[in-house]
Chains A and B, each alone.
Chain A
Amino acid sequence: MHIPDGYLSPATCAALYAGAAPFWYVSLQRMKRAFNTQMVPLLSVFAAFSFIIMMFNLPLPGGTTGHAVGVGIATIVLGPWASILGISIALIIQAVFFGDGGITTIGANCFNMAIIGSLATYAVYRLLSGRASITSARRVIAAGVAGYVAINLAALAAAIEFGIQPLLYHDASGAPLYAPYPLRIAIPAMMIGHLTIAGLAEMVVSAGVVAYLQRSEPALLKRTAPGASEQGAPEHAAGNLRPVWFALAALLILTPLGILATGSAWGESPPFPTPRGLRALASFWTAPMPRYAPPFLKSPAFGYLLSAMIGTGIILLVILFAGWMANRRSR
């Protein structure tokens, strides 16, 4: 994801330097206030740590290997502002000294990986971990998901930056001057590698390091876990999940809105003329409530609502049953 020189136009590079500058400024001010004289050694050592983590070759499921950026763990331990600066510094040294990433694209790389990556990690980690205790398994999962989402959002930003180049910059013959692929190619090309390999690498490092810190140094996880207890206090899952239950109830009540729209959803109706094989398979299974309209009800709105309730209920029952089975096996 380290964009080299020559892939982005000077104007795009300048815009992304300008976009990154306010975040760097705010991060620097916040760090000065929060850490005072400790800021310089803390950021230096952490930037060096992030640099080394980017060199670790991680074995991934499926037999491949990948490199993490370290933005997930840096944000969870230091907070988003310090992570923005730490990862930016590591990226600058990588670009200038080791030629990994370009000099004109330092702003773009920092914007994608350090800024979007840190803020996305923080938002997802806080949202998913809630007030779970420091040693909770939920924090490990939240860290893994946060790292995965952060890297993929950063990759998406890079893909958009690549994809707009041929739209904006080409020579007289129409040849693209910078990254040559339009959005419809750049986005899938970038995302396939990141959704499968790079995202997994970040997920493994973020979740693995949080699990390690929970066992050895839980105090390091406190900065981004306000209100969480350090010891593994039992969690009140129902209390933590209350907003989710309310949101689910609201969505259930709003389901009849789905029948207000005219026409049918694209791609859900069989093609015309219907191929013979498709016609033969169509009668293979008859749903008990076809088209979300139970045959015993006359009101379409109520039928829709009832279908939503039954569907949600079945999903919850399956999950509860799976959880019960998993608990039984672990005992």
Chain B
Amino acid sequence: MGSYIERTIASLIAASERAAIAEQVAFSKGALQRVDARVKVAGLFALIIVVAASRRLGVIAALFVIAAILAAASNIRMRRLAGWVWLPVLFFTGAIALPAIFLTPGRPIAFFGVIAITEQGLRAAAFLIGRAETASTFSALLVLTTPWPWVLKALRIFRCPMIVVAILGMTYRYIFVILQTALEMFEARQSRTVGILPPSERRRLASSAAGVLLSKSVQMSGEVHQAMRSRGFRGEIHLLQDFRARATDWCWLAGFALLAAASLWYGR
């Protein structure tokens, strides 16, 4: 049972650490870190859509290589990218895609006993894994090279309502406040737990922890509301727009647009 609490604590700490490292990398010096957040959001989102739209494995593979080069140029360690993105996506999507190589009807190219691997099945699995890996890498590039508040502000270029941007920003901050509260609750419980708890007791512990967290969240939202009101909040949201696009940012935008258009053309 100790392991249950420890596992929960470990997953909460891992999320915190990952966010801290992402923020650290986002503020470091690298190719993409220097690019205007709006250009990165528009460019990388466009490339993710192109990956989803491409009907050629070669184009998806080329985009994956470009994503890896961009990561290397942006000071993102390959080992970190592999641990955070490539391997988890490979295990998850690979497990889903594996049966497809046998189950998809088509031209048999190899046999495992009476079961045949089909060419169409292999292509289907390659499409699924290739797309998932490449899109996840582009999505990780955005988060690892751009501080979260800038990503949110950049969402305004997609006409995302200001109130949604504000809620997303506040949610992100409160995730860490509630994460810390959850961590403290589980640590407090761990320090008072001796021996192994039965599964029913573990379920009760998890439900009570969720209930306490809910009560604290409601209380916190009331306090935050009062604090906002006392500072003059009347429901209007104003965001500071301090982005300034430079000549290099326009070059990057042109580069992203060219790459997306070419991939769309060759991948059709």
Cα A85 to Cα B15 with chains together (Å): 23
Q: Which residues of A contact B12 (CB under 8 A)?
A: 52, 55
- Within 8 Å by CB of B225, from A38, A61, A90, lies A38
User: Which stretch in B67-75, B211-219, B245-253, B255-263 binds the other chain?
Assistant: B211-219
Contact at A171–B170, with CB atoms within 8 Å? Answer: no
Contacts of B164 in A (CB 8 A): 28, 89
B135 lies within 8 A of A40 (CB): no
B243 at the interface (CB under 8 A from A): no
B residues 180-213 near A (Cβ < 8 Å) are 182, 199, 202-204, 206-213
Contact call B104/A176, Cβ cutoff below 8 A: yes
Contact B228 A52 (CB under 8 A): no
| Bound CA–CA A36/B225 (angstroms) | 11
Max chain B C-beta neighbours (<10 A), residue from A39, A85, A104: A104
Fill in one digit per residue for A69-106: 1 if any B CB lies within 8 Å of its CB, else 0: 01001000100000001000110110111110011100
**Which residues of B are found within 8 Å of A116, using beta-carbon distances?**
none
Within the assembled complex, what's the spacing in Å between the Cα atoms of A177 and B53? 9
Contact yes or no, A9 B207, CB < 8 A: no
**A141 within 8 Å of B by Cβ?**
no
- A residues 13-62 near B (Cβ < 8 Å) are 13, 28, 36-49, 51-53, 55-61
Query: Which B residues are CB-close (under 8 A) to A292?
Result: none
CA distance A89 to B172 in the complex (A): 10
Q: Which residue of B lies closest to A90 (CB)?
A: B171
User: Which of B51, B124, B143, B218 has the most chain A CB atoms closer than 10 A to its own CB?
Assistant: B124
26 A-B pairs with CB atoms under 8 Å apart are A4-B132, A6-B132, A6-B134, A10-B53, A37-B225, A41-B221, A45-B178, A45-B218, A45-B220, A48-B172, A51-B175, A56-B210, A59-B199, A93-B171, A104-B48, A104-B49, A175-B120, A175-B121, A176-B124, A178-B127, A180-B104, A181-B99, A208-B206, A209-B211, A212-B207, A213-B211
Q: Are A104 and B84 in contact (CB under 8 A)?
A: no
B113 at the interface (CB under 8 A from A): no
CB contacts (< 8 Å) of A51 on chain B: these are 171, 175, 178
Roughly how many angstroms separate A68 CA and B220 CA in the complex, as a whole number?
22
Bound Cα distance from A57 to B123, whole angstroms: 35
Inter-chain residue pair count (beta carbon < 8 A):
255
Nearest CB to that of B50 among chain A residues? A10
| Given known contacts A45-B217, A209-B211, A173 and B53 CB-to-CB distance under 8 angstroms | no
Residue A216 at the chain B interface, CB threshold 8 Å: yes
The dominant DSSP class at the B interface is helix
Instruction: List 17 extra interface pairs beyond A5-B132, A48-B217, A97-B22, CB under 8 A.
Output: A4-B93, A6-B52, A44-B167, A45-B174, A47-B174, A56-B206, A93-B171, A93-B175, A96-B143, A99-B136, A173-B120, A175-B106, A175-B127, A180-B104, A181-B103, A205-B207, A208-B210
Interface flag for A114 (CB, 8 Å): no
A interface footprint on B104-120 (CB within 8 Å = 1, 0 otherwise): 11110000000000011
Nearest 5 pairs of A and B residues by beta carbon: A208-B207, A6-B131, A212-B211, A5-B135, A44-B170
Chain A residues positioned under 8 Å from B178 (CB to CB) = 45, 48-49, 51-52
Is B55 within 8 A of A55, CB to CB? no
- Give B contacts to A, CB under 8 Å: 4, 7-8, 11-12, 15, 18-19, 22, 45, 48-49, 51-53, 55, 84-85, 89, 92-93, 97, 99-100, 103-107, 119-125, 127-128, 130-132, 134-136, 139-140, 142-143, 148, 151, 161, 163-164, 166-168, 170-175, 177-179, 182, 199, 202-204, 206-215, 217-218, 220-222, 224-225, 228-229, 233-235, 237
Query: What count of chain A residues pass the 8 Å CB interface test?
Result: 73
Chain A residues with CB under 8 Å of B222's CB are: 41
Give the CA-CA distance A163 to B84 in the complex, in Å: 29
Interface string of A207-225 (1 = CB under 8 A from B): 1110111001100100000
A310 contacts the other chain (CB 8 A): no
Interface secondary structure of A, over-half rule = helix
A97→B171 CA distance, assembly (Å): 12
Q: Does A185 contact B (CB under 8 A)?
A: yes
Interface string of A182-212 (1 = CB under 8 A from B): 0001000000000000000000110111011
- Bound form: Cα–Cα A174–B171 in Å: 44
A164 located at the interface, meaning its Cβ lies under 8 Å from any Cβ of chain B in the complex: no
Find out whether the CB atom of A89 lies under 8 angstroms from the CB atom of B168.
Answer: yes
Report whether B161 and A28 are in contact in the complex, using a CB–CB cutoff of 8 Å: yes
Which residues of chain A from 206 to 253 have any CB-CB distance to chain B below 8 Å in the complex?
207-209, 211-213, 216-217, 220
Complex contact A175–B124 (CB within 8 A): yes
| A8 contact set on B, CB distance < 8 A | 52
Supposing A5-B48, A6-B52, A173-B119 touch, asked if A63 and B127 sit within 8 A by C-beta, the answer is no
